[in-house]
Amino acid sequence: MTIKIGIMGYGNLGKGIECAVKQNKDMELAVVFTRRDPEKVSVLTEGVQVCRAEDVKDWVGKIDVMILCGGSATDLPVQTPELAKLFHVVDSFDTHAKIPEHFGAVDQAAKESGHVALISAGWDPGMFSLNRLYANAILPEGHDYTFWGKGVSQGHSDAIRRIEGVKDARQYTVPVPGALDAVRRGENPELTTRDKHTRECFVVAEEGANLARIEKEIKTMPNYFADYNTTVHFISQEELMRDHAGIPHGGFVFRTGKTGWNGENNHIIEYSLKLDSNPEFTASVIAAYARAVYRMAQDGTAGCKTVFDVAPAYLVDMTGEEIREKLL
Amino acid sequence: MTIKIGIMGYGNLGKGIECAVKQNKDMELAVVFTRRDPEKVSVLTEGVQVCRAEDVKDWVGKIDVMILCGGSATDLPVQTPELAKLFHVVDSFDTHAKIPEHFGAVDQAAKESGHVALISAGWDPGMFSLNRLYANAILPEGHDYTFWGKGVSQGHSDAIRRIEGVKDARQYTVPVPGALDAVRRGENPELTTRDKHTRECFVVAEEGANLARIEKEIKTMPNYFADYNTTVHFISQEELMRDHAGIPHGGFVFRTGKTGWNGENNHIIEYSLKLDSNPEFTASVIAAYARAVYRMAQDGTAGCKTVFDVAPAYLVDMTGEEIREKLL
C-alpha cells in the first residue's frame, strides 16, 4: 500500500514534489494537474497522467493526498480551501501576514468535508518555524534571530526586472558575516535590517539602457532595497545563464537564552540550512508532511493543521520501535 | 491555573528543573522529593516543601507532573515505571541501548494507570533525536553525523577518577574542527571514532603518584580513551576548581542529502547547541515536555511517549492562534 500523491501545478515546486515522491518508497505519483494544455506538459515519471486542473473532481477517491504547488499571492488562497473540500491537501502558503485568514478558510472547508489540510509546509514557514517554536519552548527568556541566505529571492529578482531597461536579473540575499558571528558568540546584538543582510544584484540591461539610472532605481527602491546595502553588477545574458541558473537558498535560526536561578548561564541554539535547490528542498519537506497528513487522516483527524500540530513520528516511514531504536 | 510540578531527586538536574519552573509562568513547583534527610536539603524556591522519597504516595492528586531527576543506570529503570502508576511523569533516561526495554516497562505502567509518561527528554536523547528525525524525513537519501562537545563528560571524568593515584579529574569531549568542516562543506566524509572527537583530560594527582603511569592508564583505557587522541594535563586541585567548575556541553547534528531526479542537488541541515550548563539546559527541555505531558493528559492520552510523539504546539504556553502568528 503506497500513498497516492496528486500534484496541482507543475512548475519548479511541482517538479520538486515529483522528485521527492521518487525518493520515498511508500509513495507513488498518481497524477499531475496543470492549467496549461496537458498535451504540452511532459512529466519525468513514466506512466503518470497529466490532467486539466478543471478535471480534478474526477480524481476524488483515487488519490490520498493532493499537493498544491501554486503561488501564495493568488493561487493558494483560492485553491487550498476549494481542494480541501475534495481531498486531503498540503500547501506551502508563505505570506506570513495572511496565514490567520488562510488558516480560517481552509479549516472551515476541511472540517466540513472531513479532510486534513496542512498549510505552510516548507522551510520558512516550516522547518524554521519549528525551530523557533522548540527553542522558545526550551528557553523562555531569550532572543530570536533569523537570517536568510545566501540565496536567490524570486520577489526581489522580479522587482528588478520590472525596472525600465532591465532584461533579466537575479538577486541574492546575503547574511552579514559579522552579524552572524556576533549572534553565535552570544552577544545578543540589536540588529537593524541593514545590519543583518546585504543584497547582491546581477542585472542584464537592454542595449543602450542608462545603467546609472537602473542602479539608482534598484538601490533606492522602497521596501525591497532602500533599507539594505545593495551592490549591483551588470552582466551579459550569457553570464546570467551560466553563473546564476541555480536556485540556492538557506539561512540560520538562532535562539540565545539564559538559565539558572539568576540567569547566570547562557545557551545558544542554532539551526541552519544550506540548500542547492530551494524548490526541491521545500518539496522534500512537503512530501514528509503529505505522509503525516495521510496518517492523521487515517486516525480520523480533520481540519486545518500546521507543522506545529504534527507529532514528528508521523513524518517518517518507520514504526515507533524503529524510530526509538535508530533515531532517539 | 498553573501546572503543579514535583521533582524527584535534587541533584544538578533537579536544581535545573527548579530554575526552569521559575522561568515558566504557567508552572509552579509544588514539592521536592529526596532520598536524603529532607531537613538537610534546602531548595531555592520559597515555601516549597522537601519530602522523603518514600512519602511520594501522599502527593497523589496534589501535583500535575512529576519530573524524575535520577540517573539512568539504576534510578530511572525502577522509578519511572513505579511512579508512572501514580503520576504523569517525565524522565531523561539516556541509555540508548536500553530505551526499548525502558519504554516497554513504562508504557505498561502508564497505560494500566491512565497516565502519560514521557521518557528520554533532554538534548541527546531529545533535541538531537528530533533533529535526526526531521532531517531523515526530509532527506531520505543522505548521511547523518552527530558530534558532541566541547563539553564535560561525567562518565569519562568518573573513569579517570577510578585510576589509582587520581584525586580528581575533568574530561572534555572535543569535536575535531577539520571533521566538522568537511561535513559542513558537504563532503560526506567517512569518519572513524578517532577522526570525530578528541578527549582532553585535566587531572589532579595525589602527592607522589606516578604521573607517567596515570597518563598511560588513561590513554590506553578501552572504550573510554583508547580509540581517541587523548591529551592529559596534570593540574592542581585549585586550578581544577577555578578553571573547570562549569558543566558546559553541546554538539552538532548534521544531515547531508541529495534531491533532484538524478540526485543532482545537495543540501546540508545543521543543528547545534552551545550550552553553559548541561543540566540546566536538559532541565529546560524537560520542563517544556512536562507542559506537553500535562496537556496530552488533559486530552485523555495515556501510555509511554517520547519526543517523537509530541506535537510541537503542546510545548509552548501559547494558543494555536498565537503560535501561528508569532512563530510560523
Amino acid occupying residue A188: N
pLDDT on residue A73? 93
pLDDT on residue A1? 83
pLDDT on residue A102? 98
Sheet of B116-118, strands arranged across: B49-52, B27-34, B3-8, B65-68, B88-90, B116-118, B303-305
pLDDT on residue A309? 98
Flag if A328 and B99 touch (Cβ within 8 Å): yes
Instruction: Say if CB A221 and CB A159 are below 8 A apart.
Output: yes
Flag if A323 and B308 touch (Cβ within 8 Å): yes
Query: pLDDT class for B213, splitting at 50, 70, 90?
Result: very high
Flag if A140 and B266 touch (Cβ within 8 Å): no
Instruction: Say if CB A310 and CB B311 are below 8 A apart.
Output: yes
pLDDT on residue A5? 98
Q: What share of chain A is helix, strand, coil (3-state, %, to 5)?
A: 40, 30, 30
Phi–psi pair at B226, nearest 5 degrees = -60, -30
pLDDT tens, residue by residue, A106-128: 999 999 999 999 999 999 999 99
Cell 569518519, located at residue: B191
CB atoms under 10 Å from CB of B206, counted, come to 11
Mean pLDDT, consecutive 10-residue stretches, chain A (328 aa), reads 96 98 98 97 96 98 98 96 98 95 98 98 98 98 97 94 97 98 95 97 97 98 96 98 97 98 98 98 98 98 98 98 95
d(CA B121, CA A320): 16
pLDDT tens, residue by residue, B11-44: 999 999 999 999 999 999 999 999 999 999 999 9
Interface mutation vs chain B, best among A308, A317, A319, A325, most B CBs within 10 Å: A308
What does the mean pLDDT of chain B come to? 97
CB-based contacts of A40, cutoff 8 Å, min separation 6? none
Residues 51-90, chain B: which have Cβ within 8 Å of A?
A: none
Flag if A133 and B313 touch (Cβ within 8 Å): yes
Flag if B132 and A281 touch (Cβ within 8 Å): no
Interface mutation vs chain B, best among A91, A106, A267, A282, most B CBs within 10 Å: A267
pLDDT on residue B248? 97
3-state secondary structure of B86: coil
CB atoms under 10 Å from CB of B112, counted, come to 12
pLDDT tens, residue by residue, B58-115: 999 999 999 999 999 999 999 999 999 999 999 999 999 999 999 999 999 999 999 9
Q: How far is CA A292 from the centre of its chain?
A: 17
Q: Is A174 on the interface with B (CB under 8 A)?
A: no
C-alpha cell read off for B201:
583530560
Q: ipTM of the predicted structure?
A: 0.97
Average pLDDT over residues B302-320: 98
Q: Is the confidence at residue B193, as pLDDT, over 90?
A: yes
Instruction: Say if CB A88 and CB A294 are below 8 A apart.
Output: yes
To the nearest whole percent, how much of chain B has pLDDT over 70?
100
- B137 contacts in chain A (CB < 8 Å): 288, 291, 312, 315-316
pLDDT on residue A100? 94
C-alpha cell read off for B274:
552551545
For A328, the closest of B272, B283, B306 (CB atoms) is: B306
Flag if B259 and A20 touch (Cβ within 8 Å): yes
Smallest CA–CA separation between A101 and chain B, in Å?
A: 11
d(CA A72, CA A120): 10
Nearest CA in chain B to A124: B328
Flag if B136 and A276 touch (Cβ within 8 Å): no
pLDDT on residue A28? 98
pLDDT on residue B1? 83
Instruction: Say if CB A90 and CB A3 are below 8 A apart.
Output: no
For A288, the closest of B44, B130, B137 (CB atoms) is: B137
For B327, the closest of A136, A309, A313 (CB atoms) is: A136
Average pLDDT over residues B250-271: 98
Phi–psi pair at B93, nearest 5 degrees = -55, 125
pLDDT tens, residue by residue, B141-170: 999 999 999 999 999 999 999 999 999 999
Q: Is A96 on the interface with B (CB under 8 A)?
A: yes
